[in-house]
Chain A
Amino acid sequence: MANLEKTASEQNSNISTKKQRSLWQEAWRRFKKNKLAMAGMGFIMFLIVIAIGTIIVDLVTNKSFYDAYVIKLDLRNRLEPPSSAHIFGLDEFGRDMFLRMIWAIRYSLFMGTIAIVISTIVGGVLGAVAGFYGKLTDNVIMRFMDILLAIPSMLLAIAIVAAMGTSITNVLIAIAISYVPTFARTVRASVLTIKDQEFIEAARAVGASDTRIIFKYIIPNSLAPIIVQATLGVAGAILSIAGLSFLGLGIQPPTPEWGAMLSNARTYIRDAWHITVIPGMGIMLTILAINVVGDGLRDALDPRLKS
């Protein structure tokens, strides 16, 4: 017995000096090691700060700055290439491209995020219910999701917007709905794997209730794949918003939006390269940054890569 105590204390001896890390801190440590993902994260942070900045400007000046500069037409100098006065040049109506670009960030980034948050919650609840209760519930929910999945998400979004009319809310709803099935599937799959793990049974054996098991055991354990899926989903949603706007079904002019800007500019691509390339680059870099972060998160949250 003394032997046992001794080995135990040996095992414990150098513990107090070691840093205590939770799984999330551990994941963050691994994420930090990934230079590319950190760069992507930095870029997104940068965009978020600018977007918040523009929102504050709008609030403080009661949109007078927006009216005076962002949507101000200057037809005489239209399509002017980048210069020191207008670093991104002027667009087809002589509006400042730089201001329009940064004013448009909020629609892409925040709308994409909101749409994904909505579909994560809706899809997550549906998937969790389907996975946890199984049987008929599972069948009904998942077959319905399969029907949604069978329709290309872009087409579905177009159909929804076309039916409900073009407004920011409707675009949000359309995109959120088209992403619900993906999340339902992801969540259901991870609930299914976790539901049968021994520690769930062990929790039952100490008298834990169903609710406790779902909230304390199943959800925290299935969070990692959902986070990754959601991050990558934001990129897709931004692309969808841009796509819808490109088709004229999303954000309506004169509100600046990258997809709409790209769409309007493409007529002038031979005369003024900058008004097509700049919004295109904006979309591309944002999506790239988000995807890189998503990949980094996936690697960081994978417990098999623990080192």
Chain B
Amino acid sequence: MKELLKVKDLVIHYQTDDGLVEALNGVSLSIGEGETLGLVGETGAGKTTLAKGIMRLIPNPPGKIKEGEIFYDGKDLLALGDIEMQDIRGGHISMIFQDPMTSLNPVMTVGDQIMEVIQKHNNISKQEAYQKAGEMLELVGIVKERANDYPHQFSGGMKQRVIIAIALACNPKLLIADEPTTALDVTIQAQVLEMINRLKKKLNTSMLLITHDLGVVAQNCDHVAIIYAGEIVEYGDLQQVFKNTQHPYTEGLFGSIPSLAANVKRLQPVEGLMPDPTDLPEGCKFHTRCKYVQDICKKNVPPLIDIGEGHLVRCVRCQKQ
């Protein structure tokens, strides 16, 4: 599989009045063509920061990409100028935002909003763009006559579909879906995910799926990255992460999901809270909540270790084996 996106040692910090927020601390990942990578983590783990970092949408100030490299199709995104970056956004890399309610411009018809992207990235006439916008709407299951409607005339699920239509209008090679279903109810969630998957296969798009729902990951992704306090703590394909869970945090995540198979009285949540990103603990970021904590964890940051066939884990316990 050809590598489409490669992020290397990305460090993003926010300089705020309350101190330096260390949102991302050296994240590396890669996505191949047509591949779906699931990015899982708690609120505040740096998932959205990573997504915005790839799109170069981090508001500066207060945010700043301190270190690292982002390569898309061999191009260094961090070295591109603003105008070139505008061509990448929407044309090559698209993003689906969390909240469909606020992601559409309330004073433009949805058709116009889809046309906007199409006209920006293709040199075509207004009629053709309108035609294409209608096709995109049909593709996401909305009749094209509704192109002249305004966002407030749509339901939440339909808005999210419009957003997906906008994101896919220019056949981007990479789709970043930032919790695309969080704001929707469960039945609509299933519909939307099913649709994203179908379109992704049809257009051979790669996807970075950000979520905190492991069930969604299991259904949609090829690879999983678990992120904690701005670091990837476990990475592998579905089988490796779900069946051969190594990192105590991942273990904790699975422990907090009710299981149909096992008869468990109480769920076992991960104790404690995510550390304050302005004041991250020394050593392993997870040691404050880890049940297998050892003295060495408090001093040294464990490296990501390959424990076989590309299954990467950031834990000293794996080092010993």
Chain A residues in the interface with B (C-beta under 8 A): 1, 3-5, 7-9, 11-12, 15-16, 20, 22-23, 197-199, 201-209, 216-217, 220-221, 303, 306
Contact = CB atoms under 8 A, between A and B. Distances in A.
Given A207-B88, A207-B120, A202 B191 contact: no
A62 B113 CA distance: 53
Contacts of A206: 89-90, 94, 116-117, 120, 166-167
Nearest to A202: B103
Nearest to B158: A11
A22 B150 contact: yes
Interface in B131-168: 141-143, 145-146, 148-150, 152, 155, 158, 161, 163, 166-167
B57 interface: yes
Nearest to A206: B90
A203 B105 contact: yes
Given A201-B97, A204-B57, A12 B108 contact: no
Interface in B101-119: 102-109, 116-117
Contacts of B121: 207
Given A204-B57, A217-B105, A7 B191 contact: yes
A12 B149 CA distance: 12
Given A12-B146, A207-B87, A199 B116 contact: no
B305 to A, nearest CB: 35
Nearest to A197: B102
Contacts of B37: none
A23 B88 contact: no
A199 B94 contact: no
Contact of A199 (B87, B90, B95, B105): B105
A302 to B, nearest CB: 13
B66 interface: no
B86 interface: yes
A292 B191 CA distance: 48
A285 B187 CA distance: 57
8 contacts: A1-B194, A4-B191, A8-B141, A8-B158, A9-B141, A198-B99, A203-B105, A205-B97
B150 A202 contact: no
Contacts of A3: 191
Contacts of A208: 86, 116, 120
Contact of A15 (B95, B109, B143, B198): B143
A221 B143 CA distance: 27
Tell me what chain B mostly uses at the interface: helix, strand, loop, or mixed: helix
Contacts of A16: 145
A5 B166 CA distance: 19
Given A4-B194, A11-B155, A202-B97, A207 B86 contact: yes
Nearest to A5: B141
A201 B57 contact: yes
B31 interface: no
B107 A220 contact: yes
Contact of B95 (A4, A205, A217, A303): A205
A16 B146 CA distance: 8
Contact of B150 (A23, A209, A216): A23
B103 A198 contact: yes
Contact of A221 (B91, B105, B158): B105
B107 A23 contact: yes
A220 to B, nearest CB: 4
A235 B215 CA distance: 61
A4 B194 CA distance: 9
B301 interface: no
B93 to A, nearest CB: 9
A21 B105 CA distance: 16
Listed from nearest, the 10 A-B pairs whose CB atoms lie closest are: A206-B90, A8-B141, A207-B90, A207-B89, A198-B102, A12-B143, A207-B86, A205-B95, A220-B107, A202-B103
B232 interface: no
A199 B96 CA distance: 11
A4 B195 contact: yes
B91 A207 contact: yes
**Residue picked from B98, B150, B194, most chain A C-beta under 10 Å:** B150
Contact of B141 (A4, A201, A204, A216): A4
B106 A303 contact: yes
B208 interface: no
Contacts of A217: 105
Contacts of A216: 105, 108, 116
B171 to A, nearest CB: 13
A128 to B, nearest CB: 16
Contacts of B90: 205-207
B142 A221 contact: no
Nearest to B161: A8
A197 B98 CA distance: 12
B293 to A, nearest CB: 39
B217 interface: no
Nearest to B92: A207
